[in-house]
Structure 1
Amino acid sequence: MTDQAAVEKLKGKFSSSVLEVKEYRGEVTLTVRAEDILAICAFCKNDLGFNMLADLCGVDLLAMGGAGPRFQVVYNIYNMKAKQRLRLKAPVAEADPRIDSVCSVWGAANWPERECWDLMGISFNNHPDLRRILMTDDWVGHPLRKDYPLQGPDRESYQGREV
């Protein structure tokens, strides 16, 4: 199956959920509604053969100045048989940064979802073990957010080294 065929099948099945399709340098990215991410990912795996979640990460668009949602969750998936990649992006609102977990589709989503929650503050509904993975349990905030203090919580700002 070609990239275009996969996109057409996704658009046919989830016509109201596919918000945008972009191709750049041979890579296809679909922006989809966050509410439908679990169904879309299950379709990609079961019907389109994307049997591997290669990566999952969060993106903070605060500095982009757009009017859209502040966050995105990005899924890089791979069809090992066809040697085909596909990128899915799901916008997530700042007011309630949450999206459904895809651990039931790809077990490999467990730790990347935990990392995304720990560092970006995006919560994953129905995640089997959503807790900090990199920061200590008593850490305040999510350090990869663009509005997070550079020196960390409750610290004086860096003044330079005294020689």
Structure 2
Amino acid sequence: MLTNEEVAKDLIRKFGEEVYDFDEPFGLLTLSTSREKLIPILQHLKDHAVYQINFLTDICAVHYPDDPNPAREFCVVYHLHSLVNNFRVRIKVFLAEADLHLPTAITLYASANWMERETYDFFGIIFDGHPNLIRILNMEDMDYFPMRKEYPLEDPTREDKIDALFGR
């Protein structure tokens, strides 16, 4: 049976300081890496004779507009699963708004096609090498990315809401 510690030590041995921020929330091995090492790490986990992490469960993103480090404003998250070993791993890649590019993972996982399109559609993350990076759920003529936290949560012009009724 695979352990988080075993896989983490192997990744550190192979990739050194290119893998960092190891954590185990709810028992899920979580780590961060750079965009340059993302594909080599995914390839290593997939091709490893023991790990066989052969299923891409999900790709999603998170926008942290208030992060004091602009290089960590966006985070793209990859959830992977070894169906053979019933082992899961989460890999995070942080990006700055000025450079929202990642290499596509389609060469390793065909299912990345639609997941990358969805992440592009909602966050504007550009997956270099993707064969058809267009919107998948929103209208093509939208000029913004709806999951970015760029707009106030409430409409300041509303007149039908009295703050006192909401405990403010």
TM-score range, shorter chain: 0.7 to 0.9
1:45 maps to 46
1:73-128 Cα deviation digits (max 9, x unpaired): 10000000110000000111111111111111111111110010111011001011
CA distance in 1, matches of 2:26, 2:88: 12
**Rg larger in 1 or in 2?**
2
Partner SS, residue 94 of structure 1:
coil
CA distance in 2, matches of 1:52, 1:11: 22
CA distance in 1, matches of 2:46, 2:151: 36
Partner SS, residue 116 of structure 1:
helix
Question: Gapped runs of 5+ residues in structure 1?
Answer: none
- Does 2:138 align with 1:138? no
Structure 1 pair 149/135, CA: closer, same or farther in 2 (3 Å)?
A: farther
TM-score (norm 2): 0.85
The number of residues matched between the two structures is 157
State the percentage of identical aligned residues: 33
Partner SS, residue 16 of structure 1:
helix
The alpha carbon displacement at 1:160 in A equals 6.2
Contact 1:22–1:28 (Cα < 8 Å) also in 2: yes
1:122 maps to 125
CA distance in 2, matches of 1:111, 1:149: 29
Question: Gapped runs of 5+ residues in structure 2?
Answer: 161-168
Q: Judge which range, 30-39 or 78-87, deviates more.
A: 30-39
- CA root-mean-square deviation: 2.0
More helix per residue: 1 or 2? Answer: 2
Which segments of structure 1 move beyond 2 Å, counting only runs of 4 or more?
148-151, 156-161
